[in-house]
Amino acid sequence: MSFHNLANDVHSILIDEEQLRQRVKELAEQITADYADQEDLLLICVLKGGYVFLSDLSRALARRHELDFMGISSYGKGTASSGAVQIIMDLKQPITGRNVLIVEDIIDSGQTLSYMRRNLLARGPASLRICTLLNKPERREVDVPVDYIGFDIPDEFVVGYGLDFGEIYRNLPYIAVLKPSVFAHLFE
Ligand code: IMP
Ligand code: MG
């Protein structure tokens, strides 16, 4: 593991900066068109992983919208979900009657979004949709309706653009697969 240059730990780049920029722009255009006759739009960022995507998506949206944040925890330090989803920071406001769009980094098993969706629906929003940058279809355990997907990716653990391994690598500007040596200490 490298302290000074995270790129040394990268095995390969799965989605580069230009691909991310282009796809975020397309998603923003699609969202703008779909909500064209709605005055209200509230983006809810799922922390921590969603922060980079949210920041780029929000700035790519020319239309008015508000933001809120929700802290969710479902992973320990490893690369597989513990299954237990927990709200560690709730929204600052009620969402009753609002048009809510959840912005998430990745759907893996679907447990996190399934839980969030049920939790938010119980608060009575006017509408609730889900936008995820990445989707791992092979790993799905529970069905979740997803309205916007940036990229379908294979069943590999990825980091960067908000996604972490053990809280590190979120600041890599692309989506990458790490070298096997980085995971080695997990099995020591
Ligand atoms: P799920 O509940 O299994 O769908 O997992 C969703 C959460 O797990 C995401 O919000 C991520 O924080 C995390 N996660 C899933 N796959 C990956 C990955 O490949 N890299 C980093 N984090 C991941
Ligand atoms: Mg995470």
Instruction: Write out the E strands in the chain.
Output: 10-15, 42-47, 66-75, 81-89, 99-107, 127-135, 148-152, 158-159, 175-178
Alpha helix (H) ranges present in 35-139? 51-60, 111-121
- Mean pLDDT over residues 90-117, rounded? 96
Q: At residue 187, does pLDDT exceed 80? A: no
In a domain, 183, yes or no: no
pLDDT tens digits, one per residue of 105-146: 999 999 999 999 999 999 999 999 999 999 999 999 999 999
Substitution candidate for ligand 1 out of 47, 88, 163, 165 with most atoms within 8 A of CB: 163
Split into its structural domains, the chain has a count of 1
What pTM was computed for the model? 0.94
In a domain, 52, yes or no: yes
Domain hosting 152: range is: 18-156
d(C-alpha 73, C-alpha 48), whole Å: 9
User: Which entry of 108, 147, 152, 155 is annotated as an active-site residue?
Assistant: 108
Please indicate, yes or no, if residue 51 is contained in any of the structural domains: yes
CATH of the domain at 148: 3.40.50.2020
Domain assignment of residue 13, yes or no: no
Q: Is 81 close to ligand 1, i.e. is its CB under 6 Å away?
A: yes
Cis peptide before 48 (omega within 30 of 0): yes
Tokens, residue 10: 């990268």
The answer to whether residue 6 sits within a structural domain is: no
